[in-house]
Amino acid sequence: MYPLLTLDPSKIFECTIIKRLNRFTVLVEAGDELIQAHLNNTGRLYGILEPGRRGVLMNINGVKLRHRLLGVYNGEEVILLDTSTQEKAFLKAVESGLIPWLNTCSLIKRNIRINQAVIDFLFKCGNTMVFIELKSAVMNLNGYSGYPDAPTERGRRQIRVLSELASTGVKSIVVFVSSVPGARGFKLYCGFDKEMGRVVRDAVAKGVLFKAVSISFNQSTYSIVLENPDLTVDLWSMCEE
């Protein structure tokens, strides 16, 4: 495992999940205090963000909220939910040359708007321009991480845009960031979004690459570590034709 980010221990503390208030806010209890914390993950988070579960909070300098939910315990390990931390860890891994299939890449631009969709990154890899969209994979499918855990029109639209780019010869990659500790691989899950399988099949046919990396939160060192820079990807076993 390779350490990517080290968090300030003085800003990290445990809490208990009370309930999700909306897509972006969760109510937690820390000590004797009820706290509204920012939730930077719009997934449904079934079986993860449940009342009574232990969580990990991070202090932030937000305008409205002063805390963000970093992750939730699954047994004695933490599922990292915060997508901004996932993104920072991924970029650090690329910058440090720890992802072999991106080892010649440097970041050119972020949040590129193309045809009513926003794609996360544009990299330059050698002499090749590469568009990359990250997807957070926090579902635990019997030891495999999964995505999506809810219908996602936005996700389908982004993949369709990458398909259009790939069909014109522009290299395009979807990267699933697994934060299920010890995940054996990644699986696309179409149980909540039947259309996703069809969109992905079309994308593969047009040349879009689908890759996965796995990261985790090390509680003893307060660090985000890279577990696997090239996690096995299964796009079909949980998606019917």
Residue 241 within a domain = no
Instruction: Provide the whole-model pTM.
Output: 0.97
Q: Is residue 75 part of a domain?
A: yes
Let me know if 149 is exposed, middle or buried by CB neighbors in 10 A (0-12, 13-18, 19+): buried
Buried b (16+ CB within 10 A) or exposed e, 192-209: bbeebbebbeebeebbbb
* Residue finishing a domain among 79, 100, 121: 79
Q: Is 239 inside a domain boundary?
A: no
pLDDT tens figures, 50-86? 999 999 999 998 888 999 999 999 999 999 999 999 9
Is 240 within the bounds of a domain? Answer: no
- Which CATH number do you get for residue 91? 3.40.1350.60
Domain that holds residue 42: 2-79
The last residue of a domain, from among 35, 56, 79: 79
Q: Give the tens place of pLDDT for each residue, 137-163.
A: 999 999 999 999 999 999 999 999 999
CATH code of the domain covering residue 42 = 2.40.50.580
How far, in Å, are 28, 31, 162 from residue 14 at the CA level? 10, 9, 39
Whether residue 93 is found in the same domain as residue 6: no
Q: Quote the pLDDT of residue 241.
A: 63
